[in-house]
Amino acid sequence: MQEARPKTPAGRRIVAAAEELFYSRGITAVGVDLIAEHSGVTKRTLYNQFGSKDHLVAAYLTGRDQRWRSLVLAAVDVGATPAEAVTAPFEALRTWSETNTRGCAFINALAELPDPSHPAHRIAANQKLWLLNLFKELAATAGCSDPATLSTQLLVLHEGAVATQPLALDSLPACIDLARVLVESSTSPQGAGTLPFTR
């Protein structure tokens, strides 16, 4: 597989144009002709830079993934306590959602590119697994009673907040409150071993 990161100014313009178009219109609906036009390059330059549309999609998602992870880890770093750090990805989502208003690019990519062997599918899937593992690691550090179960609950809650974003429900504050309840229940002596919403 070709290197996903663009190494030239033209390559960076191509990825910027592709990101805007893929996120706003969908990956399958956008062709390389339109991307080349928007980035001010020829199709030949685009193919010389990325080899194929598939690798360009991978570059688009790789860039978003890197920015998202940096934002989340920065939010984790400012958490006053280990318990607050567990819910930091929700705070990062609050900032991220200010400029990303069409839902989750990674979930959208997984829906449009169901083939697990597609390079962009792997990037999108790994982004979700990374967040799940981060929740688990943070929960363990905070002394939560069942980090594996809690991390799954938090990931589902986090993705629910993202999925409902296009509906303008402003569900994120409620999701943050629920996440804090889950964490508090898992770290308190009374809630140890018994998480809310489980039987």
Distance CA 128, CA 62 (A): 13
Question: pTM for this one?
Answer: 0.87
CA-based end-to-end distance of the chain: 45
126-145 burial by CB neighbour count: b if 16+ within 10 A, else e?
Answer: ebbeebbebbbebbbebebb
List, for residues 113-143, the tens digit of each pLDDT value: 999 999 999 999 999 999 999 999 999 999 9
How many residues are listed for the chain in this entry? Answer: 199
Is the CATH code 1.10.357.10 the one for domain 9-187?
Answer: yes
Alpha helix positions (H), 97-192: 105-112, 119-141, 147-163, 172-187
Taking each helix axis from N to C terminus, what angle separates 147-163 and 88-96, rounded to the nearest 10 degrees?
20
For 16, 83, 116, 144, 190, the CA distances from 124, given in Å and listed in that order, are 18, 27, 10, 28, 38
- Say how far apart CA 175 and CA 121 lie, in whole Å: 27
* Confidence at residue 6, expressed as pLDDT on a 0 to 100 scale: 60
* Residues 73-96: tens digit of each pLDDT: 999 998 779 999 999 999 999 999
Q: pLDDT of the chain along its 199 residues, tens only? A: 344 556 799 999 999 999 999 999 999 999 999 999 999 999 999 999 999 999 999 999 999 999 999 999 999 998 779 999 999 999 999 999 888 888 899 999 999 999 999 999 999 999 999 999 999 999 999 999 999 999 999 999 999 998 887 777 788 899 999 999 999 999 876 544 444 444 3
* Residue 19 in tokens: 């990101």
SS3 115: coil
Q: What is the pLDDT of residue 80?
A: 79
